[in-house]
Structure formats: C-alpha cells, structure tokens
Amino acid sequence: MRLYMSSNFTDFYTSPPVLSLNDDLYVEVNLERPLISEAFAPYTEFSTVMENCWGTPSQSRDGALKYFIIKNQCPVEGDTSLEVSSNGDGLTSRFNLKMFKFIGSEYNDVWLHCTVRACNATADSCVPDCGDRSRRSATRRELPFVSFGKELFADLPIQRKLAENDMDSRLVMVESDSNLSILRPGSMAFNVLIGIVAVVLILVFVFGLTIVVIRKKQPRK
C-alpha cells in the first residue's frame, strides 16, 4: 500500500506524511507479480481486489474505533469525497478521499488498513458489482478468488497536522452504534445539529429576557 502526493499517482511518500484535513489521500494497493508467480502459473492473469479498507487511530487493525472506507469490495456510502478509481481490474487498485480524523485530542494519527485478495482474471471478471445496494446484497456475484493460505493485509500510517488552535472544522468524526459517521458542513446531519444549537440559544435568550422584564416590573422596596 502506498500513499501518493497527487491524483497522477507518480510520486509517493517514503515516510509517514503529516497532512491536514484539507489534503487529499491518494491510496494505491497492489499485489507484486513475484509473489503471485511463486504460487501460481506465470501465464495466469491476476487482479488485486480490495476486500475491506478502514481507518483506525492506532496501528492496531482490530481496535474498537474503525472508519470503513471500502466494505465487502464496495465503497461505503456517506463520504462524498471518496472515489474508488479502480478495484479488481488489474494488479493495482486505487481510491482517494479527504483526510479525516477521529474525535478526541488523543487521536492525532490515522492508520489505513486493507484486506487484499488475488482474483483469477482469466476465469472471470474480477471487478466487484457495486451498483444498487439492495440489488447488490441480494444477487452478489462471487469472484474467482485465489487462496494464498493466509489473509493479506496492507497498512499505512498518516499523521495529522495540528491547526494553530488544535481545532479542525472541515471534518469531524463521531462514534455511532454500528460504525463512525461524518459531520460535514452542508450535510443533513450538520444542518440538523446547527438548527438544534440555534434553537437552544434562542430559548436561552428568551428566558434571560423574561427574567429581566419580570425583575423590572417588581416594585422596589
């Protein structure tokens, strides 16, 4: 797994980069040809399929806090910045999205993880069917995967650049029961939250104004 500096996918970081929430993540995952050729016939065509990709605030892949980017071979809905440009159509798979953070001052770093599978492209198409979600769950096509006898992981560390006041407003992640959701300016969840805060402030103002009027009407002793 490599993190590239631009959408051209030419120059990649050779050490964990320090990025801000305004930066884009350009991620590439691939299976090296020597690894495949050692186990299987060299004339066979293979493709790299990203089965699951997720972010964690630490190196541990199995931590309690996870933010899924790709799940069951398909991009997770909800993040409008996420784009999977290739998955299963060659030895290289790629996706890009905006840098994100986990809520909490103790969570500064982000680790990206992917489970990767090799697919026998000579047997059938290895591109996952990520069309309509309801149709996909009912008629999901099984891909011709090849077993290496173990699960293949790819890991990538990223450091988040702290703002001057250590407050980032572009992207905030909050924990829910099943996964992590994102509050973005302009999203429905963000607008609802702003509406609730506005109502609370209005109520506080009205209550304070009422107290002042009542005190003025009371006769002075």
SS (H, E, C) 27-39: EEEECCHHHHHHH
- Residue 152: what pLDDT? 64
Tell me the pLDDT tens digit for each residue of 90-127: 889 999 998 887 777 677 788 889 988 888 887 678 88
- Residue 96: what pLDDT? 93
> C-alpha 34: how far from its chain's center?
30
Question: Which amino acid would we find at residue 201?
Answer: L
- Residue 110: what pLDDT? 86
- Residue 119: what pLDDT? 84
> C-alpha 160: how far from its chain's center?
14
Contact between 97 and 15 (Cβ < 8 Å): no
Average pLDDT for runs of 10 along the chain of length 221 = 91 86 88 59 73 88 87 90 91 90 75 87 82 50 60 69 45 33 48 70 75 65 53
Contact between 168 and 21 (Cβ < 8 Å): yes
- Residue 38: what pLDDT? 55
- Residue 93: what pLDDT? 93
- Residue 203: what pLDDT? 78
Supply 206's token pair: 């009205």
- Residue 62: what pLDDT? 84
